[in-house]
Amino acid sequence: MGELVWEKRQFGHRARLALTPAQVRLMDDQAHAARAMWNQLHDLWQMTPKCQRALTRMDQALRQARKEIDWYAVLPAQAVLKTYFQAWRNCWDGRADEPNFKARFRTALSVDIPQGRDLQIKRVHRRWGMVNIPKVGRVRFRWTKDLPVGKLADRENRITGARLVKDGLGWHIAFRIQTLELKPEPHQGPEVGIDAGVKLPLALSDGNHQDHGRPARLPDGTADRDKWLNPQEKAKLLRLEQRAAHRKSFRKPKERSSNRLHVTYDQIRQLRARATRRAIDWQHKSTTAIANQYGTVVVEQLQITNMVKSAKGTIENPGRNVAQKSGLNRSISQEAWGRTVTLLTYKTARNGGTLVKVPAPNTSLRCSACGFVTPGSREDQATFVCKNPDCGWSANADWNAARNVLHLYRIGLVAIPAAGRAVVRRTRGVKPAAAR
């Protein structure tokens, strides 16, 4: 029996808040004030020379602004300043991009609570808990996960802070949790290669595919952007979009939108948020099942940003098949391949497994039976037929790619990101083999 090893784990938990109309107004005021303060801090940071940038100077400027501007009082003191400096630390450490300006209509409303001791969390019911939100008061939230509060909380197991976020379904609170857990033993499960696709969301090399059963395209061939909604919700969404377009037609240029139009937009946003929640729920369940079953998960090193670029081109060099490429880009974005890899990364590590990335070129064009790349093997998006006269193997295109992904790992070709690009490194002294 080996020695027990403890390790710190940091993760988040999101819960829905049950706010009264008065509390919703207070939360909205805080979020708008936090966004305005963030933008002013960002402007002050850019105008201040690098040699004079310091937390104390920014703190003094913020305290003076709170005395002169009345609506700054709705915010907890120093909350936005700490969040802004933490954003720069994340940038300097390479965990995020540089902080930028937050636009009013393109930025999600959020308020950060940097200190966990201010929350004063208490469980009052089997399904409900109470949390203290500064400047708002005691608020109920859905208790769906045991939290380290009360007697369960100590120096190593505690809630370090939270963030309040608003989407189409209302306000939610995301707790930042720190725990001390035993380091998991190495996962003894098998190896598996995964190919992320549009027709088949997650194709596995052993045939145990993960499919959400929602077609990516409509009968007319166009991309279904609302596949996570049922027929009744799709009909309602169509009516709301038509109503919004009708009401928008009466608005004159530079005229403020009517309250009815804003209500319609809120209803549309609610349906979109419901669809997004269903998609994320399926991703969590699928990636959890994969991390529990397999010890080594192999995926492709994809440059998704480059894959979803528009094919429109320029006036001098116009693009071809622009509409088809636009539909494909929309389908790729809906599947959220990057989020799937992110979920697999931390879930495999939590179960003692590993996630490995291999180079992506030709994984969809190479035959996994004979190892040759022959022109015309991809007859369509779903079927692979090898054109090698000595082979002729046919199968699902995504399954064929998943087999190739696993084969690249077994022969030692691993893509290691370095300086913004993928570097191929052979990790094992195994001679490449064309067939398996």
Q: Rounded to 5 degrees, what angle do the CA atoms 402, 324, 373 make?
A: 35
Long-range contacts of 97-104 (CB under 8 A, 24+ apart): 99/38, 99/42, 100/42, 101/39, 101/42, 102/35, 102/38, 102/39, 104/35
Residue spans per domain, the chain: 6-182, 191-426
Structure tokens at 336: 């959220």
Instruction: Quote the distance between the C-alpha of residue 111 and its chain's center.
Output: 19
Q: Is 161 helix (H, G, I), strand (E, B) or coil?
A: strand
Helices 21-47 and 55-68, axial angle in degrees (round to 10): 130
- Distance from the Cα of residue 233 to its chain's centroid: 24
Q: Are 244 and 264 within 8 A, CB to CB?
A: yes
pTM over 0.85: no
- Name the token pair of 433: 């083999």
Cα 123 from chain centroid (whole Å) = 29
Residue 141's closest CA among 113, 174, 168, 108?
A: 174
Return d(Cα 19, Cα 359) in angstroms, integer: 48
DSSP structure string for 31-53: HHHHHHHHHHHHHHHHHS-GGG-
- The single-letter code of the amino acid at 346 is Y
Asked whether the beta carbons of 111 and 79 are under 8 A apart, the reply is: yes
E strands present in 243-314: 296-301
Residue 52: its pLDDT value, please?
Answer: 64
The pLDDT, as a whole number, for residue 319 is: 63
Which H/E stretch holds residue 291?
Answer: helix 259-293
**Which one, of 196, 180, 197, 423, lies nearest residue 299 by Cα?**
196
* pLDDT at residue 177, as a whole number: 92
pLDDT tens for the 436 residues of the chain, in order? 457 788 888 889 999 999 999 999 999 988 998 898 888 888 888 887 776 666 677 777 777 777 788 777 777 767 788 888 888 888 888 888 888 999 887 888 898 888 888 899 999 988 999 999 988 899 999 999 889 988 888 888 999 999 999 998 999 999 999 998 888 888 888 999 998 877 788 889 888 888 888 776 666 666 677 888 998 999 999 999 999 999 999 888 888 888 999 999 999 999 999 999 999 999 999 999 999 999 999 998 877 676 666 666 655 566 666 666 676 667 677 778 888 889 999 899 988 999 999 888 888 888 888 888 887 777 677 788 888 888 878 888 888 888 888 888 888 877 755 433 444 455 444 433 433 4
Which residues, at least 6 apart from 157, have a Cβ–Cβ distance to it below 8 Å?
A: 148, 178, 179, 180
Chain centroid to Cα 405, Å, comes to 23
Q: What pLDDT, on the 0 to 100 scale, is given for residue 291?
A: 93
Q: Write the CB contacts of 436 (distance below 8 Å, at least 6 apart in sequence).
A: 368, 403, 407, 410
* pLDDT score recorded for residue 368: 82
- DSSP state string for 373-406: B-TT-B-SSSEEE---TTT--EEEHHHHHHHHHH
**Token pair of 60 as six digits:** 């003094």
Q: Please check whether residue 411 is in contact with residue 432, taking contact to mean a CB–CB distance below 8 angstroms.
A: yes
Say what the pLDDT of residue 235 is. Answer: 93
What the block records as the tokens of 177 is 């949790």
pLDDT of residue 238: 94
Question: Are β-strands 296-301 and 354-359 bridged in parallel, bridged antiparallel, or unpaired?
Answer: parallel
| CA 251/CA 237 separation, integer angstroms | 21
Q: Which of 398, 311, 296, 274 is nearest to 357 (CA)?
A: 296
pLDDT value for 221: 61
Residue burial 259-284, b: 16+ Cβ < 10 Å; e: rest: eebeebbebbebbbebbbebbeebbe
Round to whole Å and give the CA distance between 411 and 407.
6
Residue whose tokens read 């166009």? 222
CB-CB contact of 353 with 291 (8 Å): yes
| Contact between 226 and 237 (Cβ < 8 Å) | yes
H/E stretch holding 26: helix 21-47
